[in-house]
């Protein structure tokens, strides 16, 4: 239950935040009102000695979250993707959160595998290493399959992690209600919604079957992408608490010395990282949302290998088109078109002035395009763009925030490989190709065909739908203007009949 029994956990949390100096950082970042600051001091200061000390080498907030354990570490990681909630400064600090904890024993991992797969681990694997990576939710072992000698990576959830997360989630919900009660102004930040979003992310990561499904879908989408690999899922060795993938051998993406020694062109590699990400986001609408250097390797042949599919981003076809048109407009420096796209998509209220918005966008874009190529930042432009749209009343769209955050990370990876790369030059062919495929005449025909297929499914129900329209029209005829309702009736009938006929023809033709 989410109730007062969580007070002790909150006191321990407040004490840790006070002891590490994180309390002041958070309260200042949120411009917390006086009642909330007093409550925080009451929960934290008298019990400061109960707080965890943490690692003094870390910044205050990451130090506190790391000391408090897995659920807090993961919460910090999720919040790093929401600068709209925590602010850009805190989001940047949270992005460097160390997701490393002491590993649990190999014997415990083997026991978890046996319980999940109902087969002794030693009969499945001829070799099974000590942990090669340990994070907040799970750890990874390198193993060899007993039946064919293939090398695989086995990911195992931490023992008791589900119970620990449920316990901390209860405390988080209790804290969110407490904050909203003490500070009604904080409701604009939607604390309860934030915790609910976090709960959904965590519950997804605590079921490794979902991560395996993401890896499988991502691999299928990118199968034809030159210079890119996703390790295959071993479904027969995967379950809710265990996931097995093919082993990915390669150089760390962050080791430029090793990459140079291998004779791999870092300039080409930097462009490929960016272009692959944009392709996945625009073409597939399904992208790796945690593409930092720790989740990327370089194979011997120069291919980029992606790892860890716990956080994936999804954007629908319509949003992709909007995003592409925005990027394309900036590439062409057509600020009026960028403004129009925002209005057409409903991102900016219709009562605002489109020309004024276009001028604000020009103020965002021109200084950036006036920079030297080494300083042109797509991530910075997107950040400025969000500032402007917020000023003009644009509502926050979570999927675009995640896309922006990932773009920041990917750009950082690309520039670490080649500081002189021109981000916009690398992005232009991908965006232009998507525009041709998805917004040109070919896309119109494709959309018509899809619409026709949907309409065709209603063919057998046309008589019933027409009768419903006639009945409604007859009733409204006695209460409204005959001409107006009659016009709606005629257009309704024509729409159904023409739509059904067009659907039948197009479905037959496609």
Residues 270 and 168 in one domain: no
Together in a domain, 235 and 380: no
d(C-alpha 229, C-alpha 298), whole Å:
10
- What residues are paired with 306 via a beta bridge? 296
CA quadruple 200, 206, 212, 215: dihedral sign = positive
Instruction: Give the per-residue pLDDT at 475.
Output: 63
Looking at the fold, whether 124 and 93 belong to one and the same domain comes out as no
**84 part of the active site:** no
Tell me: do 384 and 502 sit in the same domain.
Answer: no
In the DSSP assignment, the letter for residue 225 is -
409 and 472 housed in the same domain: no
pLDDT, position 443: 60
Q: E strand or H helix at 126, and its extent?
A: strand 125-134
Q: In Å, what is the CA distance from 301 to each residue of 43, 257, 276, 292?
A: 56, 17, 17, 21
| DSSP per-residue codes, 378-442 | HHHHHHHHHHHHHHTTPPP-HHHHHHHHHHHHHHHHHHHH-TT--HHHHHHHHHHHHHHHHHSHH
Do residues 478 and 351 share a domain? no
Cβ 404 vs Cβ 91: under 8 Å = no
Domain final residue, candidates 247, 267, 302? 247
**CA–CA gap between residue 259 and residue 106 (Å, rounded):** 32
- 211 and 200 fall within a common domain: no
Residue-range definition of the domain harbouring residue 137:
105-157+207-247
* pLDDT at res. 510: 41
Residues 6+ apart with CB under 8 A from 182: 35, 36, 39
Domain boundary among 148, 174, 204: 204
pLDDT in tens, the chain (510 residues): 455 566 777 777 878 888 888 887 777 766 666 776 777 777 666 767 777 888 888 888 888 888 888 888 877 877 776 665 666 677 777 766 655 667 899 999 999 999 999 999 999 999 999 999 888 789 999 999 999 999 999 999 999 888 888 888 887 887 777 776 665 655 555 677 777 777 777 777 889 999 999 999 999 999 999 999 999 999 999 999 999 999 999 999 989 999 999 999 999 999 999 999 999 998 999 999 888 888 899 999 999 999 999 888 888 888 888 888 887 887 788 899 988 988 888 878 888 899 998 998 888 777 766 555 556 666 666 666 666 766 777 665 666 666 776 777 788 788 889 888 877 788 888 888 888 777 656 666 665 666 666 666 666 666 777 667 667 766 665 555 544 444 444 444 444 444 444 444 444 444
Residues 274 and 402 in one domain: yes
pLDDT of residue 170: 81
Cα separation, 240 vs 378, in Å, equals 38
Residue 139 in tokens: 């750890």
Q: Note whether 239 and 256 are same-domain residues.
A: no
State how far the Cα of 163 lies from the Cα of 167, in Å rounded to an integer. Answer: 6
Q: What's the pLDDT at 371?
A: 59
442-480 burial by CB neighbour count: b if 16+ within 10 A, else e? ebeeeeeeeebeebbeeeeebeeeeeebeeebeebeeee
Q: Between the CA of residue 321 and those of 93, 279, 312, what are the distances in Å? A: 32, 13, 19
Q: Among 352, 348, 403, which Cα is nearest to 378's?
A: 403
Residues with Cβ within 8 Å of 289's Cβ and at least 6 positions away in sequence, in order, are 81, 311, 312, 313, 402, 405, 406
Positive or negative CA dihedral for 27, 33, 36, 39? positive
Instruction: Give yes or no: residues 378 and 474 share one domain.
Output: no
Under 8 Å between Cβ of 36 and 183: yes
Burial class (CB in 10 A: 0-12, 13-18, 19+), 493: middle
CA distance 108 to 114: 10
Are 231 and 289 found together in one domain? no
How many independent structural domains does the chain possess?
4
Closest by CA to 389, choosing from 356, 366, 367, is 356
CATH of the domain at 116: 3.30.200.20
- CA proximity to 312, closest of 206, 196, 215, 400: 215
Residue written as token pair 């907030």: 61
CB-based burial of residue 278 (10 Å sphere; 0-12 exposed, 13-18 middle, 19+ buried)?
Answer: buried
Distance CA 207, CA 413 (A): 29
- For 96, phi and psi rounded to 5 degrees? -95, 10
Query: How many Cβ atoms are within 10 Å of 55's Cβ, its own excluded?
Result: 11
The residue from 220, 247, 274 where one domain ends is 247
Gyration radius of the chain's alpha carbons: 27
**Residue from 225, 290, 308, 418 carrying the catalytic annotation:** 290
How many residues does this entry show for the chain?
510
In angstroms, the CA 233 to CA 470 distance is 55
Give the C-alpha separation, 231 to 226, whole Å: 15
Are residues 435 and 335 part of one domain?
yes
């Amino acid at each position: 239950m989410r109730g007062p029994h969580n007070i002790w956990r909150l006191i321990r949390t407040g004490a840790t935040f006070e002891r590490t100096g994180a309390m002041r950082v958070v309260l200042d970042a949120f411009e917390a009102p006086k009642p909330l600051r007093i409550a925080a001091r009451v929960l934290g200061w008298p019990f400061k000695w109960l707080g965890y000390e943490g690692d003094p080498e870390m910044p205050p907030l990451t130090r506190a979250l790391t000391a408090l354990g897995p659920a807090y570490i993961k919460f910090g990681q999720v919040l790093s993707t929401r600068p709209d909630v925590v602010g850009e400064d805190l989001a940047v600090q949270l992005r460097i959160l160390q997701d490393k904890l002491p590993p649990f024993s190999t014997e415990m991992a083997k026991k978890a595998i046996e319980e999940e797969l109902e087969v002794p681990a030693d009969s499945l694997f001829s070799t099974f290493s000590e942990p090669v990576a340990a994070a907040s939710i799970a750890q990874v072992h390198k193993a060899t399959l007993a039946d064919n000698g293939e090398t695989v990576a086995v990911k195992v959830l931490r023992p008791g992690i589900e119970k620990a997360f449920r316990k901390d989630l209860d405390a988080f919900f209790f804290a969110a209600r407490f904050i909203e009660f003490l500070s009604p102004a904080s409701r604009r930040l939607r604390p309860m919604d934030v915790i609910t979003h976090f709960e959904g992310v965590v519950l997804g990561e605590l079921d490794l079957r979902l991560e395996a499904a993401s890896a499988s879908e991502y691999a299928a989408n990118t199968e034809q992408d030159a210079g890119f690999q996703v390790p295959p899922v071993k479904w027969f060795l995967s379950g809710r608490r265990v996931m097995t993938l093919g082993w990915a051998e390669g150089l760390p993406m962050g080791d430029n010395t090793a990459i140079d020694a291998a004779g791999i062109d870092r300039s080409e590699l930097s462009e490929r990282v960016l272009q692959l990400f944009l392709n996945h986001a625009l073409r597939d609408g399904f992208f790796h949302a945690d593409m930092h250097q720790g989740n990327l390797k370089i194979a011997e042949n120069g291919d980029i290998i992606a790892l860890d599919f716990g956080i994936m981003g999804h954007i629908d076809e319509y949003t992709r088109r909007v995003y592409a048109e925005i990027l394309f407009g900036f590439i062409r420096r057509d600020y009026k078109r960028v403004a129009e796209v925002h209005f057409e998509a409903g991102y900016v209220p219709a009562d605002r002035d489109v020309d004024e918005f276009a001028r604000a966008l020009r103020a965002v874009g021109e200084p950036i395009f006036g920079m030297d190529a080494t300083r042109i930042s797509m991530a910075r432009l997107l950040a400025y763009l969000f500032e402007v749209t917020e000023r003009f009343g644009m509502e926050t769209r979570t999927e675009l925030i995640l896309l922006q955050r990932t773009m920041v990370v990917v750009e950082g990876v690309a520039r670490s490989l080649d500081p002189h790369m021109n981000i916009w030059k690398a992005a232009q062919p991908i965006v232009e190709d998507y525009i041709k495929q998805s917004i040109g005449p070919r896309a119109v025909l494709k959309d018509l065909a899809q619409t026709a297929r949907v309409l065709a499914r209603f063919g057998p129900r046309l008589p019933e739908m027409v009768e419903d329209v006639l009945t409604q029209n007859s009733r409204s005829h006695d209460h409204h203007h005959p001409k107006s309702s009659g016009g709606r009736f005629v257009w309704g009938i024509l729409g159904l009949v023409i739509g059904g006929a067009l659907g039948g023809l197009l479905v037959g033709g496609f």
